């Protein structure tokens, strides 16, 4: 169903964008490299480039405690909810246990921050599930290191895992792709043993946080072969990144055939990042977004790392423009934070002449190894191949199975009726009013047909 | 605002760092590369490694303490130095090692720093054990498997449809799907709104970018069914995506007096905005201070402040501020800062 390959590049996509202006007003602490302010900078560029009007804009409802405990443990969430800079003394033990305090500091408003970030990704996933849009963007999300009961790498709650769990209610197979310079360990761990989520991460590996993401880590149990890791070295450039990204992802799309994709767009893989040693420019980074846009598959784009705020804002603005398929000028438009973009005030960044330690032979070998693993996949795995029962019915993505099995005396959930398409030949009124034909047809006859139809 | 002064590249000098371990109270927004340009021919790669190493250490000090002694072998920095720098106290018992039991980072998995990508043989890391002793890779971690502790519960398809009833997002703008207004229509509407704002003494975008997307104006247009006249009648518009959680809706701008207190507080406490709020500006929300901080950085007063505090180190070090928060909470405003004392409330 999605295996018909890349579509024409210039197809129109409906794009939803999630943003809450509170997000820029949280602060990790003195000297901390993670700055939520970068998301506000992104938003201002999006506004001033006139990209805003090309999307559907939503302020997401913050994730609730219950939303977040769909992945995270209650104990951990209770801790995040109740601890604050003023009472942390009474949480000494938990802080150690949940790894909060050092690079994941307990800052003022932390829980709210988590609610906003996670709320955005949950809302984005829900919107994609309802097939209201083709692409949903949440730059507040992408916090891929957070574990079930543990903060890690500046991430506290894992909005990506929550979003994917939401997608899995409607999608047989969800693909997660991570182009952050750091390994997407939190997401990989959460789905390490399932074959319904494939995680693919391209990252710097070797004496580098978080220390996972070895090529030989491929998943466990049923999830074996469904975790894919592409460990890279310092200094990778646009062209060498794409030389390995495209073949691998093309193979993944072919073998795994996902019905939804989540792309983590961590911008610390750009040249000049304060933490990341890669040498990508917006063009090479954005090419990954373009790649998935070209497939006819629901796409969720989330943020992630990125520690040179103005380059993060540049990158995510550019990727927003890719999603809506609008050209943007290299001259940055004036905006509230214009001065942050000096000295050149341009959108695009240059690559540096840093040494690329990923030589072609190494990449070729890496690619061959990854593809060899992908070849081992049973062709297009899925729930359909599991023991029959009603799983097979449930796996039908369009909800028709639900409609068929439903109790005729009860109203169908709107998620199902929303997707019902009336046959062209039906002349009677459907459950939904407002069909124009209604006015043309004989009222009596319609009523008669309707009652038949309901049987 | 004095545009020339503020434009002259906020970033290329403000974030100058003379070495990578002293935080002079700045937000480092310049890139490392740019910083390097200030020194001639600095060793870029080494610098980056230093940072990575630093980030890595920060990340793992908590759970890897039991093995950190190994780091001495490879780092230029000693543990003692690092502890001094980052105010880290070893936890007495590393509870976390239990969770981390199957970690490849433990000393049994001999590892080869420079052969990590030599992975044709997926077992190589383990089979080369008989080489000369190589220090274990303390940075390595493995994914942990335990459905209760670590993995997510994957929902069945089609099930639990009832539970996904989330409260609706607030719709701020959706173009008319059947008959979307053209860019010309939108631009002229937005231009009119700029005029309206001017007549009502509201702030407007600077000349040349009048047609930037105005969230409130577009929302009004959406809510009035794309009828530009009706939308204009609804002026003044509510601020539809205001940061109402972090900034009180009626919060006033900073007066000169407040700005002065703010600058003094920055010098004293660094950017611990919660502490600044508590100590000096209790009537402000922390979010208001943060929002102001990022605006203030764009003003000439920021440049003046920077010049007056070129190598500013806040009196209260970041790792101490936790202790200070506690003190503040316990005793109210404190009297004498004692920065020399080893902290902290974090470890025991």
Query: Residue B247 is part of a domain; what is its CATH number?
Result: 1.10.10.60
Q: Would an 8 Å CB–CB cutoff place B173 in contact with chain A? A: yes
Q: Kindly report, residue by residue over B110-159, the tens digit of the pLDDT.
A: 333 333 333 334 333 444 445 566 667 788 999 999 999 999 999 988 76
Residue A149's SS3 state is coil
Supply the mean pLDDT for chain A. 86
Known binding residue A178? Answer is no
Q: Give the C-alpha distances (Å, rounded to integers) separating B9 from A313, A336, B49, B332.
A: 17, 15, 27, 41
Say which of A44, A72, A145, A183 is annotated catalytic.
A145
On the 0-12 / 13-18 / 19+ scale of CB atoms within 10 A, B149 is middle
> How confident is the model at residue A309, as a pLDDT?
96
Residue B286 has a CB neighbour count (10 Å cut-off) of 24
Residue B130 lies in a domain: no
**A348 given a catalytic annotation:** no
Q: How far apart are CA B167 and CA B301, in angstroms?
A: 44
Pairwise CB contact (< 8 Å): B213 & A53: yes
Query: What CATH number labels A15-376?
Result: 3.40.800.20
pLDDT given for residue A89 in this prediction = 86
Per-residue pLDDT reduced to its tens digit, A268-285: 999 999 999 999 999 999
**B229 and B263, same domain (yes or no):** no
* pLDDT on residue B203: 82
According to the model, what pLDDT value does residue B284 have? 94
What percent of chain A clears pLDDT 70, i.e. is strictly above it?
81
- Pairing verdict, β A299-302 and B170-173: unpaired
Domain boundaries, position B272 = 243-311
Res A448: pLDDT: 42
At residue A404 the predicted structure's pLDDT band, cuts being 50, 70 and 90, is low
Subunit contact A207:B272, Cβ cutoff 8 A? no
What average pLDDT does this structure show over A115-140? 97
Q: How far is A57 from chain B (nearest CA, A)?
A: 5
Q: Is A50 left (phi over 0), alpha (psi -120 to 50) or beta?
A: left
Note whether residue B76 is domain-resident. Answer: yes
* A412 has a pLDDT exceeding 60: no
Residues in B touching A231 (Cβ below 8 Å): 116-117, 119
Residue percentage of chain B with pLDDT more than 90 = 32
Residue B330 in this model has a pLDDT that exceeds 50: yes
Eight-state DSSP code of residue A385:
G
Instruction: State pLDDT tens for residues B227-274.
Output: 999 999 999 999 999 999 999 988 888 999 999 999 999 988 889 999
Distance from CA of B257 to the nearest CA of A (A): 22
A27, A59, A337 member nearest B290 (Cβ): A27
Percent of chain B residues topping a pLDDT of 70: 47
Tell me the three state secondary structure of residue A201: strand
Cβ of residue B172 closer than 8 Å to a chain A Cβ: yes
- Residue A449 distance to chain B (closest CA, Å): 30
Taking an 8 Å cut-off on Cβ atoms, the answer to whether B154 and A352 are in contact is no
Strands, E, within A39-155: which ranges? 56-59, 135-138
Range 219-258 of B in CB contact (< 8 A) with A: 240-247
Say whether pLDDT at A411 is over 70.
Answer: no
Which comes out higher in pLDDT, residue B210 or A74? Answer: A74
Strands (E), A373-431: none
- Cα–Cα dist A347/A311, whole Å: 9
With CB atoms and an 8 Å threshold, state whether A339 touches B6: yes
Average per-residue pLDDT for chain B: 67
The helix (run of H) or strand (run of E) holding residue B170 is strand B170-173
The answer to whether A340 is a known ligand-binding residue is: no
Whether the CB of B135 is below 8 Å from some CB of chain A: the reply is: no
Question: Which residue in A has a C-alpha nearest to residue B167's C-alpha?
Answer: A61
Q: How many domains does chain B have?
A: 3
Per CB-CB distance under 8 Å, the chain A contacts of B140 are 211-212, 214
Instruction: Tell me which of B82 and B151 has the higher pLDDT.
Output: B151
Question: From the list A37, A58, A122, which residue is nearest B170 (CB)?
Answer: A58
Of the listed ranges A145-154, A305-314, B21-30, the least confidently predicted one is B21-30
Write b or e for each residue in A390-403: b if 16 or more Cβ atoms lie within 10 A of its Cβ, otherwise e.
Answer: ebeebbebebebbe
Using 50, 70 and 90 to split pLDDT, how confident is the model at B76?
low
Whole-number pLDDT of residue B84: 52
Whether the Cβ atoms of residue B131 and residue B115 lie closer than 8 Å to each other: no
Nearest-Cα residue of chain B relative to residue A116: B245
Give the global pTM. Answer: 0.73
What pLDDT is recorded for position A88?
A: 86
pLDDT at A409: 62
pLDDT at A4: 44
Summarize pLDDT for B272-285 with one digit per residue, the tens: 999 999 899 999 99
Q: Is A307 annotated as a binding residue?
A: yes
Note the ipTM here.
0.79
Residues in B closer than 8 angstroms to A212, CB to CB, are 140-143
A394 to B160: CB separation less than 8 angstroms, yes or no: no
* B178 in a structural domain: no
Chain B contact set for A71 (CB, 8 A): 152
The pLDDT-based confidence of A232 (bands split at 50, 70, 90) is very high
State yes or no: pLDDT of B90 exceeds 70.
no
CB contact under 8 A, A97 and B56: no
User: Which of B217, B234, B251 lies at the terminal end of a domain, its last residue?
Assistant: B234
For residue A217, what pLDDT band results from cuts at 50, 70 and 90? very high
> What is the per-residue pLDDT for B153?
95
pLDDT (0 to 100) of residue A418: 53
Taking CA atoms, what residue in A is nearest to B117? A231
Using CA atoms of B196, B201, B205, B208 in order, give the dihedral in degrees to the nearest 10.
Answer: 70
Residue in A103, A216, A274 closest to B28 by CB: A274
Distance CA A187, CA B148 (A): 15
Region A158-166 average pLDDT:
98
**pLDDT tops 50 at residue A47:** yes
Tell me: pLDDT of A68 over 90.
yes
Residue contact A101–B61, C-beta within 8 A: no
B211 or A64: which leads in pLDDT: A64
Concatenating the DSSP letter of every residue in B259-307 gives: HHHHHHHHHHH-S-HHHHHHHT-TTS-HHHHHHHHHHHTTSHHHHHHHH
Q: What is the CA radius of gyration of chain B?
A: 28
Which is more confidently placed, B36 or A296?
A296
Lowest mean pLDDT, pick from A16-20, A361-365, B154-158: B154-158
Tell me if A339 sits within 8 A of B298, measured CB to CB: yes
> What local confidence, expressed as pLDDT, does residue B202 receive?
86
Q: What is the pLDDT of residue B251?
A: 85
Measured between beta carbons, the chain B residues lying within 8 angstroms of A20 are 241, 243
CA proximity to A160, closest of A172, A149, A170, A145? A145
Half-sphere exposure of B165 toward its Cβ, with a 13 Å CA cutoff?
4
- Are B170 and A88 an interchain contact pair (Cβ–Cβ within 8 Å)? no
**C-beta atoms of A216 and B119 within 8 A:** yes
In this prediction, residue B178 carries a pLDDT of 85
Contact flag A96-B241 (C-beta cutoff 8 Å) = no
Residues B231 and B218: their CA atoms lie apart, in Å, by 9
Nearest-Cα distance to chain A for B26, in Å, is 7
Locate all alpha helices (DSSP H) within B2-123, ordered by sequence.
3-7, 10-14, 32-38, 44-60, 71-74, 79-86, 96-99
Query: CB B249: neighbour CB atoms within 10 A?
Result: 9
CB–CB of B243 and A97 under 8 A?
A: no
What mean pLDDT do residues A39-53 have? Answer: 96
Reported as a single tens digit per residue, the pLDDT across B207-217 is 767 678 999 99
* B336 located within any domain: no
> Looking at residues B56-68, what average pLDDT do you find?
44
Chain B residues whose beta carbon lies within 8 Å of the beta carbon of residue A206: 113, 116-117, 139
pLDDT (mean) for A238-260: 97
- List phi, psi (to 5°) of A18: -110, 125
Coil, strand or helix: which one is B100?
coil
pLDDT per residue over A429-438, tens digit each? 434 433 333 3
Best mutation target, B57, B137, B148, B213, to test chain A (most A CBs within 10 A): B213
Interchain proximity B274–A107, CB inside 8 Å: yes
Would you say residue B59 has pLDDT above 80? Answer: no
Q: Report the chain A residue with the minimal C-alpha distance to residue B290.
A: A25
Closest-CA residue of A relative to B57 is A209
Name the packing angle between helices A37-48 and B286-296 (round to 10°).
60
Helix ranges, A257-384 (H): 282-293, 309-324, 360-375
Structure tokens at A4: 């018909």
B325 touches chain A (CB under 8 A): yes
Residue A84 has pLDDT above 70, yes or no: yes
- Of the candidates A123, A216, A217, the beta carbon closest to that of B169 is on A123
pLDDT band at B317 (very low <50, low <70, confident <90, very high): low
């Amino acid at each position: 169903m999605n295996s018909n390959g890349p579509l024409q590049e210039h197809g129109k996509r409906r794009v939803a964008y999630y943003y809450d202006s509170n997000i820029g007003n949280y602060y990790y602490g003195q000297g901390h490299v993670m700055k939520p302010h970068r998301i506000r900078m992104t938003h201002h560029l999006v506004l001033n480039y006139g990209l805003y009007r090309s999307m559907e804009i939503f302020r997401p409802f913050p994730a609730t405690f219950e939303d977040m405990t769909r992945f995270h443990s209650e104990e951990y969430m209770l801790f995040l909810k109740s601890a604050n800079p003023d009472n942390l003394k009474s949480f000494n033990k938990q802080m150690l246990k949940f790894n909060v305090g050092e690079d994941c500091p307990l800052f003022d408003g932390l829980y709210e921050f988590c609610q906003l970030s996670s709320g955005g990704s949950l809302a984005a996933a829900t919107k994609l599930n309802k097939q209201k849009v083709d692409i949903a963007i949440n730059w507040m999300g992408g916090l891929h290191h957070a574990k079930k009961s543990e903060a890690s790498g500046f991430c506290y709650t894992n909005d990506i895992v929550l979003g994917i769990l939401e997608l899995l209610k409607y999608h047989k197979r969800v693909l997660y792709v991570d182009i952050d310079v750091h390994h997407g360990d939190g997401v990989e761990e959460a789905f390490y043993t399932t074959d319904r989520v494939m995680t693919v991460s391209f990252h710097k590996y070797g004496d580098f946080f978080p220390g996972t993401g070895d090529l030989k880590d491929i998943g466990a149990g049923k999830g074996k072969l469904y975790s894919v890791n592409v460990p890279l070295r310092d200094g990778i450039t646009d062209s060498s990144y794409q030389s390995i990204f495209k073949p691998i992802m093309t193979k993944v799309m072919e073998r795994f055939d996902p019905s939804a994709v989540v792309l983590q767009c961590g911008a610390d893989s750009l040249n000049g990042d304060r933490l990341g040693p890669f040498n990508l420019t917006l063009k090479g980074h954005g090419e990954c977004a373009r790649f998935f846009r070209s497939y006819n598959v629901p796409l969720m784009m989330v943020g992630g790392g990125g520690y040179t705020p103005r380059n993060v804002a540049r990158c995510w603005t550019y990727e927003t423009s890719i999603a809506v398929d609008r050209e943007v000028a290299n001259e940055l438009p004036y905006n509230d934070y214009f001065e942050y973009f000096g000295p050149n005030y341009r959108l695009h960044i240059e690559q540096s002449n840093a040494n690329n330690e990923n030589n072609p032979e190494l990449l070729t070998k890496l690619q061959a190894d990854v593809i060899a693993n992908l070849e081992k996949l049973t062709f297009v795995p899925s729930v359909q191949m599991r023991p029959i029962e009603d799983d097979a019915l449930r796996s039908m993505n369009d909800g028709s199975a639900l409609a068929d099995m439903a109790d005729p005396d009860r109203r169908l959930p709107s998620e199902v009726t929303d997707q019902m398409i009336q046959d062209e030949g039906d002349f009677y009124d459907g459950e939904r009013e407002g069909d124009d034909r209604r006015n043309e047809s004989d009222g009596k006859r319609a009523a008669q047909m309707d009652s038949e139809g309901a049987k | 605002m004095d545009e020339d002064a503020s434009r002259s590249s906020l970033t290329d000098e403000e974030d100058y760092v003379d070495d990578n371990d002293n935080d002079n109270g700045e937000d480092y927004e310049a890139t490392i590369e740019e910083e390097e340009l200030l020194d001639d021919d600095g060793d870029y790669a080494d610098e980056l490694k230093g940072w990575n190493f630093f980030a890595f250490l920060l990340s793992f000090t908590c759970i890897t303490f039991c093995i950190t002694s190994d780091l001495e072998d490879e780092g230029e920095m000693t543990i003692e130095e690092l502890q001094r720098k980052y105010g880290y106290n070893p936890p007495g018992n590393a509870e976390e090692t239990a969770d981390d039991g199957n970690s490849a980072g433990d000393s049994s998995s001999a590892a080869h720093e420079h052969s990590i990508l030599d992975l044709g043989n997926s077992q190589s890391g383990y089979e080369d054990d008989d080489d000369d002793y190589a220090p274990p890779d303390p940075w390595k971690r493995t994914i942990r498997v335990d459905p209760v502790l670590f993995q997510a519960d994957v929902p069945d398809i089609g099930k639990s449809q009832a539970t996904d009833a989330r409260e609706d997002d607030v719709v701020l703008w959706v173009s008319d799907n059947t008959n979307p207004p053209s860019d010309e229509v939108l631009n002229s509407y937005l231009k009119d709104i700029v005029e309206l704002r001017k007549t009502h003494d509201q702030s407007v975008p600077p000349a040349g970018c009048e047609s930037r997307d105005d969230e409130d104006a577009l929302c009004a247009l959406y809510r009035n069914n794309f009828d530009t006249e009706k939308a204009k009648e609804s002026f003044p518009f509510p601020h539809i995506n205001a940061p109402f959680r972090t900034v009180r809706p009626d919060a006033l701008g900073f007066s000169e007096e407040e700005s002065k207190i703010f600058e003094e507080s920055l010098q004293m406490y660094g950017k611990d905005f919660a502490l600044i709020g508590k100590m000096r500006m209790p009537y402000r929300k922390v979010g208001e201070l943060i929002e102001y901080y990022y605006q203030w950085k764009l003003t000439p007063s920021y440049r003046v402040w920077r010049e007056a505090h070129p190598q500013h180190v806040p009196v209260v070090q970041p790792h101490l501020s936790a202790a200070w928060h506690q003190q503040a909470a316990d005793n109210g405003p404190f009297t004498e800062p004692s920065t020399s004392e080893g902290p902290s409330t974090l470890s025991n």
